[in-house]
Structure formats: structure tokens, C-alpha cells
A and B are shown apart, each in its own frame.
Chain A
Amino acid sequence: MSAQALKSDITATAPVPEASPFDRWLPATPATAEPDWLARIRAAALARVRSEGAPTGKSEGWRYTGLRTLLEQGFTAVDEPLSALLPEDIDEVLVSGLDAHRVVIVNGRFTPQLSDLSNLPAGVRISPLCTELAGAQTALADHLNAVAGEGAHVFAALNSAGFEDGMMLHAERGTLVEQPIELLHLSVGMDEPRIAQPRHLISLGDGAQVALIERFASLGDALYGNNALMEIRLGRDAALKHRRIQLESPSAFHISGVYLSQAANSRYDGINVGIGARWARTDLVTRFSGEYAECNLQGLYLAGDKQLLDYHLDVHHGLPHCASRENFKGIVHGRGKAVFDGLVYVAKDAQHTDAEMSNRNLLLSEHAEVDTKPQLEIYADDVKCSHGTTVGQIEPEMLFYLRSRGIPQALARRMLCIGFAGEIIDALGNDALAAYVAEAVGHRLEAVPL
């Protein structure tokens, strides 16, 4: 008997499990007032979660990202909204000097009393996803799961099965929102480990321009989880500036996905900063639905002691004349571990694609680890694609230069790290936000024995 035959026997009889390790992540009582189409999406998502189960080290997307610690926490769904917070309670997590319309999501739920949408210009609508779903029964049927569909991984399906609330943002055709919109995920520790699964839907009409600042922060150093999913649809000529600042508590587990669909000539400019969380996984997925669209993804991650930060980028060029840029930089110290996995896929007819990927890493300590996997899959010939990766340490010459000018070793090293990170911080393009991130980076580096 051949080895093949033996193998196929085993797979044929494998039963579909009735439960998954994530069942407790789902709310105990399903919402009753939900439309039929949503119930169908949830049922399909749940079936997928159950049949796939937790990814293992053998799944390609998870080979460097162990799920053991995440599963050990025994997370359960957030059961009731936390309504006791007053506006002054969140002062400590606000960005000083940031002038923005604000949406606050507390433990996965849209919290109007903390949000500030008083000056929202005409043409922009922001509302809690749950009220949208309860109000207009079919309005979102074509939107939800339209971008983060089949191809997404199991945590996206899990979010579809279990989300209860989130933000719905729609900018009408030609709307120009000058002030940025801030979306703050605030997590407050509960008596037991809870996981929130907010879902956000963003859609920009043709030519609309919006700046969105998405932040993850916490009150205290609590242990909690977030499995956030955002679906973005950009109309023709629309432009979205998207800043994502992940500063979760040091004990937190963070999973987030941004699924993006770009129509012709649209521009997406995203910057991801990852500093917090004990274990974080971020997926950025881009699909083009029109030609001449541009997608720019930048990132900065600081993985410290016993911290794991994982970024997965997936840009699919299915149409000609689109451009994508990926530029991620990382600083890893202590027993930190950073994972970067970028894929640029150029389909057969996507001629004149211009794609560039770069991932640069600074390793500061003996036990730090970087696993990087920049991939190109190209099926068209008239394209310009490249990628570059480096892993290294601080150049001794640079250090010598600074030290010869009387700067102590530790300070010199810190200066060089901040200089390395500066490229991304400067690109944030908002002074208040840049100052806030620079302070967070500086604060982190000060705590590191350099």
C-alpha cells in the first residue's frame, strides 16, 4: 500500500468537530432582533470556526505565531456594557492637543456619552453599528462581510460570528472632513479575562476625503483581549488617511484586521504603530476594484520583553495600473519577537503594477527574534516589483561618533533608535499625534536596558 493511500484514508474519516476552542468567545445569548441575512452570515462564520478550529504552527500564516498563550487565557465574551465611565475618567488616555471628532468604544461597545461628534460636518454619518442593524433591516446587508469575506482567516470569521457593536462611518460623495475622526478603543479590565469583538464598517463615497485615527488603549494594566475587525470601502477618487496606534495594556491580547477595498483612483494611506499588548496579531488586507488606485502601508513596531508583535500584509493586485508601497520598521529588544509577513500578489492581467515592499529591523538584545517573510507572487510581466529586508544591530561607527562627542552609551543608543523610528513617526502627519507616539516610543526605550 502506498503512503498516499494511507494518508487519504485518514483525512476522509476526520469528523467535523461540534465545538471549537473559541466557543466561549461568542456571546451567550444571541441578539434577538437581528435580521435574517445577519443570522445567516453568523451561522456560516460559526460553521467555519468550528470546522477550522485554532490554527496551529503548521498553518503557514501562523508558523511563527503561537496561539498557546492566547488559548490558555480562557477568554469569555464581554457580557454587559460598561456604563459607569464618565468623560473625565478617560482624560488620561487622550492625546493632548489632538483636535478631532471622537468615537469611544469601551470594551467593544460604542459609548455615546464618551464620544464627541457635535461638530461633525454634513455628509458624514457616524453611528453605532448595533443601532444601524436594528434600525434599517437591510441597509447593511451588502456591506457587512463584503470585504472581509471567505479568504480571511479564522479570527475574522470569529468576529463575524460574535460581534455585537462597532462603528459605522459613511462619508457621502465629495465630502471633505478636515478634522480627523478619532476612533478610540478603550479597554477596561474586568474580574475575569474578557474578549471584545468590535466590528467597524467604513465607507467613503466617490471623492470623499477622511482622516481616521484609530487607537487602542486601556485603563490600567489589565488582562483582556480584543478581536477587532474593520472593513473599509473606498469609492472612486476617495482618499483615506488611516493611523492606527496600538497601545494596549502590557498584559493584553490583541487581534485586529483591516480589510480594504479600493475603487479606481482611490488612495489609502495607512500607518500602523504597535507598541503595546503582550501578544498582538494584525492583518492588513487590500483588494483593488478599480485601476490607478494607490495603497500605502507603513508601520513601526517595538517588541519588548516576552512580547510578540505580528504583522501580516496581503496586497492583491488584480487589476492593472495600481500601486502599493509597504514600509515597515521594527525595533526588537529583551526577549521580544516580531513577525512580518508581507505578500504582494500580482494577477495575470495586472500589468503596470508598481509594488514595493521594505521591512527593516533593529535587534537590540541577545534573545530578541525577528522572523520576516516578504513574498512576491507575480503572474504578469510588465510590472515593477521589488522587496527588501534587513535585520541588523546599531552600527558601531554611529555609536562611536556619538560617544566621541560625549554622549553616554545608553543615550546614544536611544537616540539612534529614535532616529530609526523617526521616519515613520514623521509620516504620521499630525503634530499632536506624532508627539504622542514619539513620547510612547521614548518612554518604552527608556525602560529598556540599552
Chain B
Amino acid sequence: MSATPDDVLPGDTKTAAQTSTKAAQAEAEYGHLVKSEYEHGFVTAIESDTLPPGLDESVIAIISQRKGEPQWMLDWRLAAYRKWLDMPTPEWAAVHYPPIDYQTISYFSAPKKKELKSLDEVDPVLLETYEKLGIPIEEQKALAGVAVDAVFDSVSVATTFRDKLAEAGVIFCSISEAVQEYPELVRKYLGSVVPPTDNFYTGLNSAVFTDGTFVYVPKHTRCPMELSTYFRINEAKTGQFERTLIVADEGSYVSYLEGCTAPQRDENQLHAAVVELIALDNAEIKYSTVQNWYPGDEEGRGGIYNFVTKRGDCRGDNSKISWTQVETGSAITWKYPSCILRGDNSVGEFYSVAVTKGRQQADTGTKMIHLGKNTRSTIVSKGISAQHGIQSYRGLVRIAGKAEGARNHTQCDSLLIGDKCAANTFPYIEVKNPTAKMEHEATTSKISDDQLFYCRSRGLTEEDAVSMIVNGFCKEVFNELPMEFAVEAQKLLSISLEGAVG
């Protein structure tokens, strides 16, 4: 259903809005903005249509209304919001930042031009911005068959390769489209892996998420290409609340790439995304991330706060979910891509490289919850900390009483560059089944003088030598990335460590 400006707030919402006088005021004040957008048609210069900062039920209603969402979606958001109000902010992570005032964030920001049919309709100014960032959308078609669902701030503006995917029966679209076009699928799976009440940030995300990606791979289908979304944060003071939902039906396979860049900012930006993966019987999902958001300046000012909840559910037997991440950006990373190994013989994998330098802080890791029989999981985490970077691996391996024959291998290695950085390891291991086999290893070290001497005696500069050694240290994880991504990740790592050595 598509909402017209006239049915601004449907029945139920009004009741909810009446509980707050502020909500009513907001409606009166901004309702005309909603209308004017449609009355005056399209504008040529890129001007973000941004809601004023603040969050209450009326803001959620406006977001939902602008997205033209059905009533159930709005109810879902409001329920999440009400629960969120009573939730505490998590404080257990080893990261430090000033408290965030959630009332100073604007919860909606969208390029005004909407419903584009093809790339030609995309604003050239916007395309130019992408090109500066080296994301050539036009060339993507040629590039190894990667379909790109580019996100400029919060609304998808261009979706390519849709037809080719449609031929295979794969649904690849923005989540807002999915809410309207495939409501039965979204309703069935949304929040089924990461419930809104999971934690503070998922509560917030569930209430205000504005866009994201939806992927559905039908039964016995191998997705013909690797799916990819580039996220960009462009509007100052805009929190990004992405919601990604990927469903792989029985016997299907999909590989999804997520990459991020962001321009320089003066003020900290909050990013609280939620990613849910669902793999049914014999299905496999591979999810790769290269994250290079703005980490802040040398003093750590202005970087992105990346508070993300990612979780995959191996719901079916013999299913597999694999997370690979290369995290080099963000001022603060708070991220634990997890796997719930529910189906028998299901497999979970987590491969991670995280780099913290300057004043970056990263608290990242994974959770592997073994519920089914003969479930297997592998965790390989490589942390590199330089300058004043603080890095923590925080992982949970839980083997439930019924997980006969479960197997886990965990390896966490930290590399320290300089004497002002930190590397922490906080593994939690809970085993309730005697047939389980669980191994955990962790080491912390620095680049040894011998290694450096060896390289330098062969004519390499110190910087090259370090870059080489670090790349070798991370090889195990890079091998898991799709080709183009692996190259990009290696480049990123070298760039990230520039100036961090010596």
C-alpha cells in the first residue's frame, strides 16, 4: 500500500500520538512538510529531507507514514519503541565515549527524489559523489556481475541487476519495498532472529529503522551473483539505522557483501544497524563486510559509533552461515556477528580482522550457540592494535545439553604495534554436553625484531615490512573473502597502518 499525504496518521497511531502532546505538535508542525514534498514534486539539487532531531512516538509514526508502511509495521515499531524506553544502555563493553543524547539525533533523512526506475533517473550530483568514493555504479554491471543496492543515507536510490536476479527468483530490494511488496515474508522473518528487545540498540533500530536490504533466495537456488550494498553516511547529525534481512530457503546459496565508507565529520555519528540471516535446510549464507567508516581525527573526534547487532540463525539441518569481517574504520565498534546453530549438522563460521589505531576502540567478537546435534563452529579473530587503539575480542561459545557431538575451534590472535595500545581477550565458554569438543587458543604478541630484521636486510623499508607481516598475520581471514573484496581489504589494511609504525 502506498500512503497519500492525507492519511497522515491512521486510526491507531492517532491514539498512540495522543498520549504525547509533543507528538501532536510535531504532527501539526511537520505534517505540511510531508505534504509539500508531494505537492511540489521533485527537486533537482540534492537536499536531504531531514526530520528535526528528537524521538518520540510521533517521529516513529512519521517515519512509518513516509515509508508508506502498513499498520502492522507501525505497531511493531511502536511496541519496540515502548520497550526501548525501559532498556539500559549496555555498559559492559570495554569502550568509552560520552553518553549519547538520543534526542539530538535526526531519525530520518532521505534524498527527496524517489521511486527511480533506472540509473538514468539518479541525480548526477549523487552519482558524482559515488564516483569520487570509487564506487562506480555504472561499471558495477561489468564488474564481475555484482549487483549493487547503493544506499545514500537512508533510502535506496538505485538498484541494479534486479531483472537478472528476478529471473532466478531471487528477491533483492530495499527493506521498505519488501515491507510493501512481500509483507508475508517480512512479517514472518523480521525480528525472528534479533528480537527488538534483544538489546538497547536493536530496540532503537526496530523503532526507527529507515532502510536496509532484503534478500530472499528461493528453494534450491544458487544466487547467480554476489549481492552487494554500499552504505554511505552523508547527512550530518543523521543516525543511520539500517535493517538487513536475508532469508535463504531450503538448499539455496547466497553470498552477500557489505562495504562502507564515510566522509569526514565533525560530530560523532551513531550507526545502529541490525542484520538478520536465516538459513533453512541445506542452505548457505556467506556474509562479508569491509567496514571503513570515518574513525575520527587523531584525537578521536568525529568518528562513527558503530553499534551493530548481527545474528544468523541456522534454522535448518545442514545449513551454514559464515561471517567474514574486516573492520578498519569507526571511532567505536561494538559488534558481535553471531550464529545460532539450531539445525542438526549446521555450521557457523566467524573470520575477523579488526584494526584499531589513533583513538579507535573496538569491542568485537562473536557468539556461537550450539543447539543442534553435530554442529560445528570455527572462530578466527585477528586483532591489530596500534597507537592508542583499544581492541577487545569478546566471544561466547555455548554448547547446550542437547548438542551431541558439537565441535568448536577458536583462535584469537592479537598483534600490538606500539606501547600505548591495548588488546584484550574475553572469551566465555559454556559447555553442557560431554560429547562436545571445544578448543580455544589466544596469543598476544608484537612484530618481532627478528621478523623485521629479516625483511629489512632484504631491502624492504620498515613500513613495507610491517605491512607485509601484518598481511601475513591476517591471511587466514582474507582467504575467506570474495576475490575483489580481498584485494580491497588488503589495500585498506596497508592504508590504515600508514603512519602507525615507527
Q: Do A and B originate from a single complex?
A: yes
A positions within 8 Å CB-CB of B: 1-4, 6-7, 60, 64, 348-349, 351, 361, 363-393
* B420 and A371 form a contact (CB under 8 A): no
The answer to whether B426 and A373 touch across the interface, beta carbons within 8 angstroms, is yes
> Would you call B87 and A390 a contact (CB within 8 A)?
no
| Residues of A close to B100: CB separation below 8 A | 4
Bound: A363/B431 CA distance, A: 9
With A4-B89, A6-B85, A373-B429 given, is the CB distance from A366 to B439 under 8 Å? no
**Min CB–CB distance B186 → chain A (angstroms):** 27
What residues of A have a CB within 8 angstroms of the CB of B426 in the complex? 373, 375
Q: Which residues of B contact A372 (CB under 8 A)?
A: 429, 431
Minimum C-beta distance from B410 to chain A (A)? 8
Please name all residues of chain A whose beta carbon is closer than 8 Å to the beta carbon of B428 when the two chains form the complex: 371, 373
Q: Is the CB of B438 within 8 A of A386?
A: no
Minimum CB–CB distance for B44 against chain A, Å: 38
When C-beta atoms are compared, the residue in chain B nearest to A377 turns out to be: B424
Per-residue CB contact flags for chain B residues 436-453 toward chain A (1 = under 8 Å, else 0) read 111111111110000000
Listed A/B pairs (30) with beta-carbon separation below 8 Å: A2-B102, A3-B86, A3-B88, A351-B419, A363-B431, A363-B436, A368-B432, A370-B430, A370-B431, A371-B428, A371-B430, A371-B431, A376-B424, A378-B416, A378-B424, A379-B422, A381-B421, A382-B446, A383-B416, A383-B444, A384-B445, A385-B445, A386-B444, A387-B440, A389-B429, A390-B440, A391-B437, A392-B436, A392-B438, A393-B436
| A407 CA / B60 CA spacing, docked (Å) | 71
Q: A378 to B401, Cβ gap below 8 A?
A: no
- B434–A389 contact, CB under 8 A? no
A-B interface contact total, Cβ < 8 Å: 137
A378 contacts B440, C-beta separation under 8 Å: no
Inter-chain contacts of B278 with A (CB < 8 A): none
B418 at the interface (CB under 8 A from A): yes
Closest residue to B394 on the A side, CB-wise? A375
B414 at the interface (CB under 8 A from A): yes
The yes or no answer to B84 lying at the interface (CB within 8 A) is: yes
Q: Do B442 and A388 touch (CB < 8 A)?
A: yes
Q: Give the chain B neighbours of A351 by CB distance below 8 A.
A: 419
- Residue of A3, A7, A383, A390 with highest tally of chain B CB at under 10 A: A3
Q: Check B280 for interface membership: any CB of A closer than 8 A.
A: no
Interface membership of B192, Cβ < 8 A: no
Q: Is B423 an interface residue (CB 8 A)?
A: yes
Nearest A residue to B402 by beta-carbon distance? A366
Judge whether B423 and A378 touch: CB under 8 Å: yes
Q: In the bound complex, do residue B443 and residue A361 qualify as a contact, i.e. CB atoms below 8 Å apart?
A: no
Question: Out of A2, A6, A369, which one reaches B431, CB within 8 Å?
Answer: A369
Instruction: Confirm or deny: B97 has a beta carbon within 8 angstroms of a beta carbon on chain A.
Output: no
Given A4-B99, A376-B444, A387-B442, are A370 and B401 neighbors across the interface (CB < 8 Å)? no
B427 interface hit (Cβ, 8 Å): yes
Distance in angstroms between the alpha carbons of A368 and B416 in the assembled complex: 38
Q: For the complex, give the distance between the alpha carbons of A387 and B102 in Å.
A: 40
Closest 8 CB pairs of A and B: A381-B416, A363-B434, A389-B440, A376-B425, A385-B444, A391-B438, A391-B431, A379-B422
A265, B419: Cα distance in complex, Å: 24
Residues 64-101 of B, flagged 1 when their CB comes within 8 A of A and 0 if not, give 00000000000000000000111111001000000111
Minimum C-beta distance from B266 to chain A (A): 23
- Chain B positions within 8 Å of A370 at CB level: 429-431
B417 at the interface (CB under 8 A from A): yes
A1-B85, A366-B434, A388-B439 given; name 18 further pairs at CB < 8 Å.
A3-B200, A363-B431, A363-B436, A369-B432, A371-B429, A373-B426, A374-B427, A376-B444, A381-B417, A382-B419, A383-B416, A386-B443, A389-B438, A390-B437, A391-B429, A391-B431, A393-B434, A393-B436
List the A side residues contacting B434 at CB < 8 Å: 363-366, 368, 393
Residue of A nearest to B203 (CB): A3
Q: How far is A381 from B100 in the complex, measured between Cα atoms in Å?
A: 32
Closest to A360 in B: B439
Max count, chain A CB within 10 A of own CB: residue among B414, B423, B439? B423
Q: Which residues of A contact B89 (CB under 8 A)?
A: 3-4, 7
Once A382-B446, A383-B444, A388-B440 are accepted as A-B contacts, the answer to whether A375 and B427 lie under 8 Å apart by CB is yes
Residues of B within 8 A of A384 (CB): 444-445
Q: How far is the CB of A259 from chain B (nearest CB, A)?
A: 23
In the bound complex, residues from chain B placing their C-beta under 8 Å from that of A390 are 437-440
Measured between beta carbons, the chain A residues less than 8 angstroms from B50 are none
B425 touches A375 (CB 8 A): yes
Q: B414's closest neighbor in chain A, by CB?
A: A378
Complex-state Cα separation, A349 to B438, whole angstroms: 34
Asked if B435 CB lies within 8 Å of chain A CBs, one says: yes
The answer on a CB contact under 8 Å between B442 and A381 is no
Inter-chain CA distance A376–B94, complex, in Å, is: 12
Interface centre among B84, B102, B401, B438 (most CB of A within 10 A): B438
- Does B103 reach chain A (CB closer than 8 Å)? yes
Identify the closest chain A residue to B446 (Cβ).
A381
Closest Cβ–Cβ distance, residue A401 to chain B (whole Å):
19
Known contacts A369-B432, A378-B424; is-contact A7 B88 (Cβ 8 Å): yes
Q: How far is the CA of A333 from the CA of B414 in the complex (A)?
A: 35
Asked if A60 and B92 sit within 8 Å, CB to CB, the answer is yes
User: Any chain A CB within 8 A of the CB of B197?
Assistant: no
From residue B22, how far is it (CB to closest CB) to chain A in Å?
A: 10
Q: Say whether B435 contacts A393, CB under 8 Å.
A: yes
CA distance A437 to B444 in the complex (A): 35
Q: Which residues of chain A come closer than 8 Å to B102, judged between CB atoms?
A: 2-4
The reply to whether the CB of B433 lies closer than 8 angstroms to some CB of chain A is: yes
B contact residues around A388 at 8 Å (CB):
439-442
Contact across chains for A369 and B446 when beta carbons are under 8 A apart: no
Partner of B442, one of A363, A374, A392: A374
Q: Which residues of A contact B439 (CB under 8 A)?
A: 388-390
Max count, chain A CB within 10 A of own CB: residue among B200, B420, B431, B442: B431
> Which residues in B have their C-beta under 8 angstroms from that of A374?
425, 427, 440, 442
B-chain residues with CB within 8 Å of residue A366 when the two chains form the complex: 401, 433-434
Taking A363-B436, A366-B401, A390-B440 as contacts, is the C-beta distance between A376 and B85 under 8 angstroms?
no
In the assembled complex, which residues on chain B have CB atoms less than 8 Å from the CB atom of A381?
416-419, 421, 446
Which residues of A have CB within 8 Å of B441?
386-389
User: In the complex, how many angstroms separate the beta carbon of A399 from the nearest chain B beta carbon?
Assistant: 13
A383 neighbours in B (Cβ, 8 Å): 416, 444-446
**Which residues in A have their C-beta under 8 angstroms from that of B429?**
370-373, 389, 391
Q: Do residues A380 and B414 form an inter-chain contact, with CB atoms below 8 A? A: no
List, in ascending order, chain A residues with CB within 8 A of B425's CB. Answer: 374-377, 387
What residues of A have a CB within 8 angstroms of the CB of B443 in the complex?
385-386
Residue of A nearest to B436 (CB): A391
Partner of A6, one of B86, B419, B420, B430: B86
Q: Which residue of chain A has its CB nearest to the CB of B84? A: A3
Q: How far in angstroms is the closest Cβ of chain B from A66?
A: 14
Given contacts A366-B401, A366-B433, A393-B435, contact A376 B442 (CB under 8 A): yes
Query: Within the assembled complex, what's the spacing in Å between the Cα atoms of A391 and B55?
Result: 47
Residues of B within 8 A of A389 (CB): 427, 429, 438-441
B441 closest partner in A (C-beta): A388
CA distance A384 to B423 in the complex (A): 12
Return chain A residues, CB-CB under 8 Å to B423.
376, 378
The distance from the CB of B111 to the nearest CB of chain A, in whole angstroms, is 28
Contacts of A375 in B (CB 8 A): 424-427
Residues of B close to A7: CB separation below 8 A: 88-89
What distance in Å separates the Cβ of B103 from its nearest Cβ neighbour in chain A? Answer: 6
Question: Once bound together, how far apart are the Cα atoms of A391 and B102, in whole Å?
Answer: 43
Contact residues in A for B86 (Cβ distance below 8 Å) = 3, 6
Given the interface pairs A6-B86, A371-B429, A382-B446, the reply to whether A392 lies near B419 with Cβ below 8 Å is: no
CB distance from B240 to the nearest CB of A (A): 19
